[in-house]
Structure 1
């Protein structure tokens, strides 16, 4: 028993419950690998010692709902930050029967970091939803984690069909074609240059959108010339510098499609150069893209509702027999903003 007036420690619980410190840690943090009988005993002792209250003990000790980890790329991409905020909001509102959620941000575009995060998360999680990087290291980690019985689903960007991992997101090739149609039609010119900005081709979502865009432009607007794709790594500063260079180098620039995020850097450059004549289409309805639509700097924004995305991902992890269909792409213009 702890000395009078001192907060009990995990070691006090372990001693009185006659279990290891590691077992107590697993129970209070809802990790796997503890029998229901031991779990109940540890929680009873923790409650009696005053380490946790009645309500928290009931919450932790309820029939164990799934532990789910959401892995997202770190950085300044406003849509991914919004997605992380949505996950954290669900954590705060979760009931006893809801899955336990964790949200971790991993170094962007780093396949080794993502593979390591998948393996580490598998120690706690029953299911993992992750923004995938299509890379052999990530595929190997996903196969290893799945073999341990952990459920997996990719969100926004997938691992490709041969990885065998369910995916929740848009049909990105179709989205890219739609973006090409919008840019070609809205430009109102049969000739000129169009530019692509991506986060990275390491994300299959970005490469699929690029391929769709290119196929549509070649098919319907063959006299529009594509200038080389710039990788801005979903960083507003990089996107800003790329756009300034494009404006300096391409006097006939008529359109830009940002297949990734952080469109704020592009809109900043367009505003500074007073180039609202350039058609600009991007992704993710966030505060910055909403403002750009309203002032006419952006023409259209593709969006996938973050709450629906999370709903579908969690449903797939809790009911893996259900195979998700592609999400519906919302397209916002100034006149239909919600």
Structure 2
């Protein structure tokens, strides 16, 4: 590579960017480096044609750091795709950043826009994030929100569930499972800073008020997708509301809620509905502590996102939300076994 840099009259960093098809190199510089590579016998003419053609976009996934099992699973799957990609595929990397921190997300958008042609991120609905999104989009980096949206002209598309419909679905299931019982119902969320959680709450409350007036809402607790916080919230809810008949976990880390229900002997009487089919929620479904899981297939999230970036900017048009899977103990998909 040093010989190639000398022959082309460029830096080693430029040679690295050209050979790895990264952004930030002028077309004429790419052509000069590749011509030198053929002259030196570093590559064949056929390889030069391939590297000199349309460069696949560099893509970054930005996900919240923490103990949310679904987001960890999503990150593992992104990295798995990256590890098995061919050289002709879009270079793909995944980064975990501080959860619920708008400043950290805004800084990450600006940082990764230096090398990424496209960034997929779980959005925080905050002015700092909107400003960063507008800035990097104006500079040419394409943005796709995943799981939680940021309705803003700077983002090109949203890939995820219709979260208000997901909340209404949770309310319908919980109300039907409670049957003729009266009592109180609680919600646990990661944080309303994620629009997904706020929309799920809105949908849940709306349908419960319309269809199940005998079920009394006792408010939303924010557990920040932390199993210990969720555990403590559930202990408090059970102590303060002896008539508690249902819990809807809007976010992740359902195992903390389940632990509190089991310790208080409430697993059989409290209807428990949550999100994200992972190893922990699968176990809770089988044990009977959870009654239903609303799931969005992480493979579909990744595939749809990469398909968006593979298309020219502005050509994809509107697409429907991702398919919502309702998982019960008796229909757990075999790929999760």
TM-score, length-normalised on structure 2? 0.89
Q: Cα 1:57–1:290, aligned 2, differ >3 Å: closer, same or farther?
A: farther
**Shift of the alpha carbon at 1:322?**
3.4
Is 1:325 the counterpart of 2:320 in the alignment? yes
Equivalent position to 1:309, from 285, 289, 301: 301
Equivalent position to 2:288, from 296, 303, 307: 296
Distance between the aligned counterparts of 1:56 and 1:288, measured in 2? 47
In structure 1, the residue matched to 2:93 is: 102
Distance between the aligned counterparts of 1:295 and 1:48, measured in 2? 66
Equivalent position to 1:337, from 324, 332, 336: 332
In structure 2, the residue matched to 1:136 is: 127
Q: Cα 1:58–1:162, aligned 2, differ >3 Å: closer, same or farther?
A: closer
3-state SS of paired residue (1:124):
coil
1:42-86 C-alpha deviation (Å, 9 max, x unpaired):
467789999999999998666421111111111111100111111
Distance between the aligned counterparts of 2:65 and 2:20, measured in 1? 24
3-state SS of paired residue (2:306):
helix
1:115-153 C-alpha deviation (Å, 9 max, x unpaired):
111111111111111100001111111111111121111
Distance between the aligned counterparts of 1:163 and 1:226, measured in 2? 37
Is 1:280 the counterpart of 2:275 in the alignment? no
Is 1:197 the counterpart of 2:188 in the alignment? yes
3-state SS of paired residue (2:130):
helix
3-state SS of paired residue (1:201):
coil
Q: Cα 1:164–1:17, aligned 2, differ >3 Å: closer, same or farther?
A: closer
**Shift of the alpha carbon at 1:325?**
1.1
Distance between the aligned counterparts of 2:87 and 2:77, measured in 1? 19
Within 5 Å, which residues of 2 pair with 1:71-86? 71-86=62-77
Select between 187-196 and 82-91 the one with higher mean Cα deviation: 187-196
Equivalent position to 1:259, from 250, 262, 265: 250
Select between 52-61 and 94-103 the one with higher mean Cα deviation: 52-61
Is 1:231 the counterpart of 2:222 in the alignment? yes
Select between 180-189 and 101-110 the one with higher mean Cα deviation: 180-189
Q: Cα 1:141–1:264, aligned 2, differ >3 Å: closer, same or farther?
A: same
TM-score, length-normalised on structure 1? 0.89
Q: Cα 1:185–1:28, aligned 2, differ >3 Å: closer, same or farther?
A: same
Contact 2:143 2:155 in 1 (8 A): no
Q: Cα 1:235–1:19, aligned 2, differ >3 Å: closer, same or farther?
A: same
Contact 2:230 2:256 in 1 (8 A): yes
Contact 2:146 2:158 in 1 (8 A): yes
Q: Cα 1:43–1:266, aligned 2, differ >3 Å: closer, same or farther?
A: farther
Distance between the aligned counterparts of 1:262 and 1:131, measured in 2? 17
Q: Cα 1:176–1:162, aligned 2, differ >3 Å: closer, same or farther?
A: farther
Equivalent position to 1:269, from 238, 249, 260: 260
RMSD value, Cα: 2.6
Distance between the aligned counterparts of 2:287 and 2:200, measured in 1? 26
Is 1:87 the counterpart of 2:82 in the alignment? no
3-state SS of paired residue (1:197):
strand
For structure 1, the 5+ residue unaligned runs are 1-9
For structure 2, the 5+ residue unaligned runs are none
**Shift of the alpha carbon at 1:161?**
5.5
